[in-house]
Amino acid sequence: MIVVVCPGQGSQTPGFLAPWLAEPAFADRLAALSDAAGLDLARHGTESDAETIRDTAVAQPLIVAAGILTFAALTADGRAARLGGIAGHSVGEITAAAGSGILSDGDAMRFVAARGRAMADAAAQAPTGMSAVIGADEAVLLARLAELGLEPANVNGGGQIVVAGALEALDALKADPPAGARVIPLQVAGAFHTRYMAPAVDSLRRVADGLAPADPVLPLWTNRDGSRVDDGARFVDLLVGQVSSPVRWDLCMQAFADAGVSGIIELAPAGALTGLAKRALKGVPSVAVKTPDDLAAAFELIDAAAA
């Protein structure tokens, strides 16, 4: 069973879309996605610098558009029927909603554009950020977070927990981490998936009311608790609440294992989720589709699983 995974914010790098836009079909599709989002995603994916694409309002539509492009290329020859499921990490859940048929590409882009703006506005209300903590005892870390007023935002598996909150508290954690742990500040502009994002939830709920979700045509797992979701309207509700609740990617990967995953394919901008899978799903082959040149290896993985 092949599972497609869709990365979240922080996976973008300057110029990462350039290899895709060298092909006219991808450039034309991105133009339509840009129109829906109200952003020049071709420019941001090829010319904009790291600071520009770090902006939440830019990064999120850019990542989802890249994932939609990659998924379309991956499934152009009818391979969607041979996939075992799809899941996204954080904003990647919107990519997964499009890939599974819950949202049209246009609605996915309109929703993610609204999400990026709402989360950027919420982040601007206080100086906050996120840091990855690697190698900490979870109970010890949670106790330390409670002391500092920080929250676990992403429980990623493989010994990695991303924490979020006030920048001063993150600095204090880095200066005095739990024994044996490393604290790595992340290049994101806010404390996502925490109480700081509550204003964004209210804004997104109004946007979601204007959507007409369908039920998924691919098995789909949620970041909330790793469970399967078969109802499109419920998944959109989860997308709304997700911005202020933790991402449990560890539970998603456990669900993949329980379902008999035999391969992982990560959509562009790829690399982070296949890295986590190598640690948490040992022995499961994976392909990170960073450029069109990586599609051949992804096709081979799908075809081998279906043989």
What pLDDT is recorded for position 240? 97
In this structure, the answer to whether residues 12 and 56 fall within a common structural domain is yes
What pLDDT is recorded for position 159? 86
d(CA 224, CA 233): 15
In this structure, the answer to whether residues 211 and 146 fall within a common structural domain is no
In this structure, the answer to whether residues 136 and 270 fall within a common structural domain is no
What pLDDT is recorded for position 134? 94
φ and ψ at residue 289, rounded to 5 degrees: -90, 90
In a domain, 190, yes or no: no
Catalytic residue among 89, 100, 193, 286: 193
CATH number of the domain where residue 116 is located: 3.40.366.10
In this structure, the answer to whether residues 33 and 101 fall within a common structural domain is yes
In this structure, the answer to whether residues 209 and 99 fall within a common structural domain is yes
d(CA 195, CA 146): 14
d(CA 4, CA 263): 9
In this structure, the answer to whether residues 238 and 118 fall within a common structural domain is yes
Q: Domain limits at 53? A: 2-123+195-306
In this structure, the answer to whether residues 253 and 300 fall within a common structural domain is yes
CA distances from 45 to 84, 182, 293 (A): 30, 31, 18
In a domain, 70, yes or no: yes
Q: Is 203 considered catalytic here?
A: no
- Under 8 Å CB-to-CB from 204, ≥6 apart: which residues? 111, 114, 115, 118, 239, 240, 243
In this structure, the answer to whether residues 216 and 277 fall within a common structural domain is yes
Task: Output the 3-class SS for the chain.
Answer: CEEEEECCCCCCCCCCCHHHHCCHHHHHHHHHHHHHHCCCHHHHHHCCCHHHHHCHHHHHHHHHHHHHHHHHHHCCCCHHHHCCEEEECCCHHHHHHHHCCCCCHHHHHHHHHHHHHHHHHHHCCCCEEEEEEECCCHHHHHHHHHHHCCEEEEEEECCEEEEEEEHHHHHHHHHCCCCCCEEEECCCCCCCCCHHHHHHHHHHHHHHCCCCCCCCCCCEECCCCCCECCCHHHHHHHHHHHCCCCECHHHHHHHHHHHCCCEEEECCCCCHHHHHHHHHCCCCCEEECCCHHHHHHHHHHHHHHHC
What pLDDT is recorded for position 307? 67
In a domain, 57, yes or no: yes
In this structure, the answer to whether residues 154 and 10 fall within a common structural domain is no
What pLDDT is recorded for position 130? 95
Catalytic residue among 90, 100, 244, 286: 90
In a domain, 269, yes or no: yes
Low-confidence ranges of the chain (pLDDT < 70): 307
In this structure, the answer to whether residues 163 and 94 fall within a common structural domain is no
What pLDDT is recorded for position 305? 85
In this structure, the answer to whether residues 15 and 42 fall within a common structural domain is yes
Distance from chain centroid for Cα 296: 23
In a domain, 176, yes or no: yes
Neighbouring CB atoms inside 10 A of 21's CB total 18
In this structure, the answer to whether residues 8 and 108 fall within a common structural domain is yes
